[in-house]
Structure 1
Amino acid sequence: MALRLVFFGLVVLPFTLLGLPIQFVIVRTGLPGWQFLPSIFFKLLAFTLGLRVALAGQPLAKGPVLVVANHIGWLDIIAVASKVPVSFVAKSDVARWPLIGTLARMHKTVFVDRARRTDTRRTAAEMSARIAQGVPVLLFAEGTSGIGTHVLPFRSALVGAAPKDGASIQPLAIAYTKISGLPLSRSERRQIAWIGDMGITDNLAAILGSGPKDVVLAFGAPIPATIDRKLVAKRAQTTVRRMLNALNRADPLPRDGEVV
């Protein structure tokens, strides 16, 4: 843990302090290349936290896309953003968190107030506009986080945010498979997952205190956005569940590519 904290203080923190004003200007003025600095930041952060991220399958590189994924904890964001340039959909509370809220806005995060049903329409419109601009958006479709052994039902309301004219929905399974090179036990999953009323300080201490963590991002076959949103949510949920189960059992993925 000590070496990771030293790396954070000597490398990650200075990079953040220097890069944040530059990123602010890029985002506010609409300059291209807004993903460049965040990509470096998340790679450094993933290294600090001991994440070893592998890709399986092929993330869509062209065209408008909404990625729908399972959710285990805030480490998911770091793992995904260190490999794939996406904007996230996050609960509105995150926007008010000191520093974290600022970093989220600089990463073009779309915020949703889940306590207000009327906010769903506004959020969907913002997601749709972002996707239409060619910015991939990632939605944690369960609406909450789990321990990583199963997939909760995907909520369909925001899945319908993908534009119907040419957009795709791509399922993504996020699986934490090993700690220090050994298969992850159920009890060790609580060192990674953010469950219930767990405080971020306790969760961060558990993550920093654990060894290197292997995480696989498995991308499934895209689904056309023209299909009914409830059917899309069901199909994506089934795909993510099958891939997650395979990764947790160390079985071959079901026709969704190999780890690269």
Structure 2
Amino acid sequence: MIGWLRLVLGLAIVAIATPPMALWQMMALRTGWADEGTAPRLWHHLVTRVLGIRIHVHGQMATQRPLLIASNHISWTDIMVLGSLADLHFIAKLEVGSWPLLGRLAKLQRTVFVDRGARRKAGAQVGEIASRISDGDPMVLFPEGSTGDGNVLLPFKSTLFAAAASAMNGEGGEPPVIQPVAIVYTRLQGLPMGRGLRPHIAWIGDQTLVPHLTSLLRTGAVDVEVHFGTPISVGPGLSRKHLARDVEQQVRMMMAAALRNPR
């Protein structure tokens, strides 16, 4: 009974709050009267609260610009978690832009949509991301290219790492940096999840959104750790594959440490 009450109340809160926040964001983008990052950050914070996600941050986001954040990916809730912490922009797969409601909200946050299956578009997509990074927008990349089960890190795809190498910060500016980030869901209702329960949070493959959302709202009380790693300066001669390998190694180490010893 309590689970259903959480579900109904949570959906009602988000349904009431979303339209005015979306209007606020539209006006901010069109007129510049307000910071375009405020409404998305508040909306992400609201959703994490409604879902009962408790966020524990370790380390801090890099202050250097241009900045590309590279994180492991477990669920759509990763976006809510990271988006509640800072004014960030995301790199998402192309089909997200066509999703009802969430696609529109992603566009309002100026998400960059990429078609990973179209190699002929790779150069243009890298150029768009590099331009956004050069303009000072911290961009979040999920280089696994898919969602994992929360227990295992999938191999990183290197193509979009070229965006950091292409980003510029003006003559004499600091070089671009890539910051590894590990997201680890550690506890469910206060108890350690373990390998068996962690996939409960994961959103994998063709799983539909509504049943997953319903399950999270009825369950509640999820703890997630966000670990910010050591930024990697993108210097001359560093290939995208070299960068992807170094970032993946950091994320893997942070993720493994959090899984062994949930804080």
State the AA in 2 paired with 1:202.
P
Per-residue deviation at 1:113? 1.1
TM-score by structure 2 length?
0.90
Structure 1 pair 122–32 and aligned structure 2 pair: CA distance change class (3 A): farther
The 5 A counterparts of 1:100-139 are 100-139=102-141
C-alpha distance in 1 between matches for 2:12 and 2:145:
36
Shift of 1:67: 0.3
How far does residue 114 in structure 1 lie from its aligned partner after superposition? 1.7
Retained in 2: the 8 A contact 1:168–1:224?
Answer: yes
Count of aligned pairs:
252
Match of residue 158 from structure 1: 160
Q: Which residue of 2 aligns with 1:69?
A: 71
Q: CA deviation at 1:197?
A: 2.4
- Taking every aligned residue pair, what percent have the same amino acid on both sides? 38
Aligned counterparts of 1:4 and 1:134: Cα–Cα separation in 2:
39
Instruction: For residues 19-46 of structure 1, give each alpha carbon's deviation from its aligned partner in whole angstroms, at most 9, with x where no partner exists.
Output: 2122112224455511101111111100
Distance 2:17 2:152 in 1: 36
CA distance in 2, matches of 1:33, 1:221: 28
Preserved contact between residue 192 and residue 206 of structure 1 (Cα < 8 Å): no
Number of the residue aligned with 2:211: 202
Partner of 1:17: 19
Give the whole-Å Cα distance in 1 for the aligned partners of 2:106 and 2:168: 27
Contact 2:186–2:223 (CA<8 Å) still a contact in 1?
A: yes
* Structure-2 change in CA distance of 1:30 and 1:111 (3 Å): farther
Paired residues of 2:65 and 2:176 also in contact (CA < 8 A): yes
Indicate the larger mover: 190-199 or 88-97.
190-199
TM-score, with length taken from structure 1: 0.91
CA–CA distance in structure 2, aligned partners of residues 174 and 185 of structure 1 = 15
Partner secondary structure for residue 214 of structure 1:
strand
Most deviating of 88-97 and 164-173: 164-173
Structure 1 residue aligned with 2:232: 223
Q: Please, which of 162, 183, 199 is the counterpart of residue 190 of structure 1?
A: 199
Structure with greater helix share of residues: 2
- Please give the alpha-carbon distance, in whole angstroms, between the structure 1 residues aligned to 2:12 and 2:101: 18
> What is residue 240 of structure 1 aligned with on the other side?
251
The residue that corresponds to 1:178 in the other structure is 187
Q: Which amino acid aligns with 1:230?
A: K
Aligned-partner SS, 1:231: helix
Given candidates 250, 253, 258, the residue that maps to 2:261 is 250
Q: CA deviation at 1:164?
A: 5.4
Q: What is the CA–CA distance in structure 1 between the aligned matches of 2:239 and 2:31, rounded to whole Å?
A: 36
**Structure 1 stretch 19-28 or stretch 48-57: which is displaced more?**
19-28
Q: Distance in 1 between matches of 2:197 and 2:6?
A: 20
Distance 1:64 1:58 in 2: 16
Secondary structure in 1 aligned to 2:250? helix
Q: 1:133 to 1:4 in 2, by over 3 A?
A: farther
Equivalent residues of 1:191, 1:210 under 8 A apart: no
Q: Deviations over 1:46-75 (max 9, x none)?
A: 011111011111111342100001110101
Q: Aligned residue for 1:147?
A: 149
Deviation at 1:7, TM superposition (A): 3.9
Residue of structure 2 equivalent to 1:254: none
125-134 vs 8-17, greater mean Cα deviation: 8-17
Shift of 1:224: 1.0
What corresponds to 2:85 in structure 1?
83
Amino acid aligned to 1:194: W
